[in-house]
Amino acid sequence: MNYQKQIFTQILLICCLCFTTNILSAQQPNKDTTTDESFFNPKSQIKMLFGDLGYGTRGLSAAIGFRYGFLGIDLGLGGFIRNIPNYTLYPSTTLPFPTSYDSTSYPTLSVSFDIIYYYDVGDFSFFGGLGYYSQSDTILAKSNDQATLGSYFYKQVNRQSGVCFTLGGQYFVSETIAVGLGYHTKKGVFAEICYWWY
């Protein structure tokens, strides 16, 4: 837990530094008076709504989010469409687990909340984010005792929470639409569609 706090603090400091440099650069006068033909002006206060779908080790994921300027937030859910045995729905018959057993972990629902920083280059926008997740996994144990050999009789739920990360990029295909690809440590690889305006 202390290690995660150290990583969280270091990345938060980096984000604050990027935030400060972006504000300072935005305050610089624009010496280029020529018209920029690209759709996107990185110094503008862009607003964006986006949604994404992804797939990873936890199954299908989905998220929605909002961007203003060079900062954004998103809320994601993961763990849909997983092949989990029906008997995970039933309570454990015996706790704790037996002395001799083989266990299998089945990822179930996870929830994540991320703060995202954007860096714009022409019609491209690259992003990285830091967030917090909470998840619960179902663990089934198969007893190795001779009386119950080969059967799953034991169930536990393992709950975890911690720091998660995301990174990726977007391309502004028109004056209102952008598309993107990214990777999230809990949601997996994802594709997103964005609606933006000034």
Region of residue 185 (phi > 0: left; psi between -120 and 50: alpha; otherwise: beta): alpha
Task: Judge whether 87 lies within some domain.
Answer: yes
Task: Judge whether 177 lies within some domain.
Answer: yes
Task: Judge whether 15 lies within some domain.
Answer: no
The number of domains in the chain is 1
Task: Judge whether 111 lies within some domain.
Answer: yes
Task: Judge whether 28 lies within some domain.
Answer: no
* Strand, helix or coil for residue 174: coil
Contact 140, 94 (CB under 8 A): no
Q: Give the separation between CA 163 and CA 49, rounded to whole angstroms.
A: 24
Task: Judge whether 157 lies within some domain.
Answer: yes
Task: Judge whether 90 lies within some domain.
Answer: yes
Per-residue tens of pLDDT for the chain, all 198 residues: 555 555 555 565 565 555 555 554 544 444 444 445 555 565 568 999 999 999 988 889 999 999 999 999 999 998 876 666 665 555 555 556 777 778 888 787 899 999 999 999 989 999 999 999 999 888 877 777 766 655 666 777 888 999 999 999 999 999 999 999 999 999 999 999 999 998
Q: Give the separation between CA 112 and CA 71, rounded to whole angstroms.
A: 17
CATH code (residue 172): 2.40.160.20
Determine the structural domain holding residue 131 and report its residue range. 45-197
Rounded to two decimals, the pTM is: 0.73
